[in-house]
Structure 1
Amino acid sequence: MKKILTLVSSLCIFVCCSQENNPTKKVEPQQKNILLADPTIFYDSGTYYLYGTTGGETPLNGQGFMVYKSSDLQKWEGPAGSQNGLALKKGDAFGDKGFWAPQILKYNNKFYMIYTANENIAVASSNSPLGPFKNESQKPIIETGNQIDPFIFIDEDGKKYLYHVRLTKGNRIFVAEINDDLQSIKPETLTECISGTLPWENTQNTDWPVTEGPTVLKHDGLYYLIYSANDFRNPDYAVGYATSKSPYGPWEKSADSPIISRKNVKQNGIGHGDVFWDKNNKMHYVLHTHFNESTVSPRKTGIISIDFDGKALKADSGSFIFLKNE
């Protein structure tokens, strides 16, 4: 027995010495996929802020909007919101359920969050991208009907436009000029932009075609409306775009659409995101995918590089990555 104990002790000493003489590489923290749908990334003063629709088993699900932050788009920290991870929490917001599809913008030295709750659109403000965001009004921006997926575009002349989805015989994208206080629209300007009429936009031939998740930008005098089509649960959920010489349209859908789909990125249900530019002025699109080939939710967050090729908008499918949280 003593000989056995002596042998074991010798082996322990050898292993310990070997570890001291040949230290192993530092073990990196395990990273997990960030699970936000309908995401948006806002860049300010060297930091990227990521927001989106919460899902899955997180205890913050349905409580408002989480925010993650990063300095390089590779390593993400969070949830980092000022209120236990939340940038906007239920109670400070309009509505009490269905917190979906936020957008962040900086305007008049304040940060604004435009979002959906209770199938209506509201706006909250804060002094920091981390929050706390709070609503000045408990009224929605549009007080008639049901609408989701807001996006505010500010044109070169200072006019502001609220692109959004109205739930009427399908998910249809509309636009209206929004007043300077961002609290209400000019109802006489409300105009329909597009609906799901093309085969790729309704691959299941449903009676309720879906076009949603609008983002609008301007390039060389031309307006680009980037949107997603099909029901988000459909594996064919994908991203296309249309162009116009006016923020109201008429919009011409690109023959190249969809530019992001499971055919070129090899991910089911890929879409509904937002355009952002990194610190090197390179353009990207942040979006979500299905959780895996057989499960829709919780949806995973990723980014893909996009750019202009003349007047065409193209995505680099090889650049797609999922976002990870340390």
Structure 2
Amino acid sequence: MKKYLSLVFLLYCFICCSQDKEKSSKTSAAAASILLADPTIFYDNGTYYLYGTTTAETPLNGNGFMVYTSSDLKKWKGPAGAQNGLVLKKGESFGTQGFWAPQLFKYNNRFHIIYTADENIAIASSDSPLGPFKNDSKVPMFASGKQIDPFVFIDEDGKKYLYHVRLTNGNRIFAAELKEDVSGIKEETLTECISGVLPWENTQNVSWAVTEGPTVLKRNGLYFMIYSANDFRNPNYAVGYATAKSPLGPWEKAAENPIISRKDIGINGVGHGDVFYDKNGKMKYVLHTHFSSSDVSPRKTGIIDLIFEGDKIKADFKSFVLLTE
């Protein structure tokens, strides 16, 4: 009986030690990795600013938006926001939870952050990319419905467009021209752009198909929309693009989609990012991945080079790198 109890005790110790080692290993990996989902990078005056979705599993507990900074895209410091690491803090702008998918842009010599909170879109401004960003009215951009994943594109003629996702019979990407003061949209211009109807966009064949995370750029008179498809928890979350001759479409999806997927990168859940250009003018895409092959969250942040070949976008898979502090 004593031998039996001793064996049970030893087995218990072995299991506990194994679990502790696994937990320690994950904690160590998380500490080294930058854990921002739906990331965006803004370059200004020699510094790269990295923002993204934070959750309870990431530093500062998802109570707003944090920022990391870098001068070379390799060494990152942060959280570096003006409010104890945060650039936008819950309670000082619109939103009580679900601070998702920020984008930073500069307009009228002010920095603006457009973001999702409470499954709605709001905009706040600051004198610095480090914040603090505030929205004194503390109201969302839209009065009804649910909208997420905003992206502002300013065209060559100065007109501004808001690309975003509306939660209506699936996550569908819409676009509309913004008012001059970027306080809202011109409702008569609201247009549906992209929905998940292709096999790669809905690999689990769910009734609520997901297309989201739009980023828009223009080259040689042609508009390119890079977007992600599938639920972010799906290992097959992936990136594709579409083109149009007008900022409001119609959009034609690329035949070679998806252009970034787990098949290419070797990591689950790659997608929902933003295009930016480095100090040498090289086009890059910052995105997130699942934490591991078994865990979705906290999601890791990575960067990959994008290349134009004529009117097609391709990813340089050898350039992919996960970001670390």
- d(CA) in 2 for partners of 1:51, 1:264: 25
The alignment partner of 1:264 has SS state of helix
- Quote the residue 1:25 is aligned against: none
- d(CA) in 2 for partners of 1:224, 1:231: 22
Give yes or no for contact 1:56–1:297 (8 Å, CA) kept in 2. no
Aligned-pair distance for 1:142? Answer: 1.6
Aligned-pair distance for 1:31? Answer: 7.3
- Quote the residue 1:106 is aligned against: 106
Give yes or no for contact 2:303–2:320 (8 Å, CA) kept in 1. yes
- d(CA) in 1 for partners of 2:227, 2:58: 28
The alignment partner of 2:61 has SS state of coil
Superposition pairs of residues 187-198 of structure 1, within 5 angstroms: 187-198=187-198
Give yes or no for contact 2:39–2:53 (8 Å, CA) kept in 1. yes
Per the normalisation by structure 1, the TM-score is: 0.89
- Quote the residue 1:57 is aligned against: 57
The alignment partner of 1:60 has SS state of helix
Give yes or no for contact 2:37–2:287 (8 Å, CA) kept in 1. yes
Instruction: Evaluate the alpha carbon distance shift between residue 257 and residue 78 of structure 1 in structure 2; reply closer, same or farther with a 3 A threshold.
Output: same
- d(CA) in 2 for partners of 1:86, 1:132: 8
Superposition pairs of residues 17-96 of structure 1, within 5 angstroms: 32-96=32-96
Aligned-pair distance for 1:136? Answer: 3.4
Q: Deviations over 1:157-194 (max 9, x none)?
A: 11000000000000000001111211111111110001
Aligned-pair distance for 1:148? Answer: 0.0
Q: Name segments (4+ residues, structure 1) moved above 3 Å.
A: none
Give yes or no for contact 2:58–2:298 (8 Å, CA) kept in 1. no
Superposition pairs of residues 94-133 of structure 1, within 5 angstroms: 94-133=94-133
Instruction: Evaluate the alpha carbon distance shift between residue 145 and residue 31 of structure 1 in structure 2; reply closer, same or farther with a 3 A threshold.
Output: closer
The alignment partner of 1:78 has SS state of coil
- Quote the residue 1:167 is aligned against: 167
Q: Which amino acid aligns with 2:290?
A: H
Q: Which runs of 5+ in 2 are unaligned?
A: 1-29
- d(CA) in 1 for partners of 2:76, 2:177: 35
- Quote the residue 1:139 is aligned against: 139
Q: Which amino acid aligns with 2:139?
A: K
The alignment partner of 1:166 has SS state of strand
Aligned-pair distance for 1:92? Answer: 1.1
The alignment partner of 1:76 has SS state of coil
Q: Which structure has the larger Rg? A: 1
- Quote the residue 1:215 is aligned against: 215
- Quote the residue 2:295 is aligned against: 295
Q: Which amino acid aligns with 1:36?
A: L
Q: Which amino acid aligns with 1:281?
A: G
Give yes or no for contact 2:56–2:62 (8 Å, CA) kept in 1. no
- d(CA) in 2 for partners of 1:110, 1:81: 17
Q: Which amino acid aligns with 1:303?
A: I
Give yes or no for contact 2:92–2:136 (8 Å, CA) kept in 1. no
Q: Deviations over 1:45-94 (max 9, x none)?
A: 00000000013533512210000000000000000000000000001110
Q: Deviations over 1:79-113 (max 9, x none)?
A: 00000000000011101111000000011110000
The alignment partner of 1:136 has SS state of coil
Instruction: Evaluate the alpha carbon distance shift between residue 59 and residue 265 of structure 1 in structure 2; reply closer, same or farther with a 3 A threshold.
Output: closer
Q: Which runs of 5+ in 1 are unaligned?
A: 1-29
- Sequence identity (%): 73
Q: Which amino acid aligns with 1:175?
A: A
Q: Deviations over 1:261-282 (max 9, x none)?
A: 0011111000000000000000
Give yes or no for contact 1:240–1:254 (8 Å, CA) kept in 2. yes
The alignment partner of 2:62 has SS state of coil
Aligned-pair distance for 1:307? Answer: 1.5
- Equivalenced residue count is 296
Q: Which amino acid aligns with 2:163?
A: Y
Give yes or no for contact 1:229–1:239 (8 Å, CA) kept in 2. yes
Give yes or no for contact 1:264–1:317 (8 Å, CA) kept in 2. yes
Which structure's residues are more often helix, by fraction?
2
- d(CA) in 1 for partners of 2:31, 2:86: 20
The alignment partner of 2:67 has SS state of strand
Aligned-pair distance for 1:199? Answer: 0.2
- Quote the residue 2:9 is aligned against: none
Q: Which amino acid aligns with 2:323?
A: L
- Quote the residue 1:18 is aligned against: none
Q: Which amino acid aligns with 1:47?
A: T
Give yes or no for contact 1:51–1:67 (8 Å, CA) kept in 2. yes
Per the normalisation by structure 2, the TM-score is: 0.90
Instruction: Evaluate the alpha carbon distance shift between residue 179 and residue 34 of structure 1 in structure 2; reply closer, same or farther with a 3 A threshold.
Output: same
Moved more, 30-39 or 166-175: 30-39
- Quote the residue 2:22 is aligned against: none
Give yes or no for contact 2:35–2:58 (8 Å, CA) kept in 1. no
Aligned-pair distance for 1:135? Answer: 0.6
Give yes or no for contact 1:35–1:56 (8 Å, CA) kept in 2. no
- Quote the residue 1:257 is aligned against: 257
- Quote the residue 1:224 is aligned against: 224
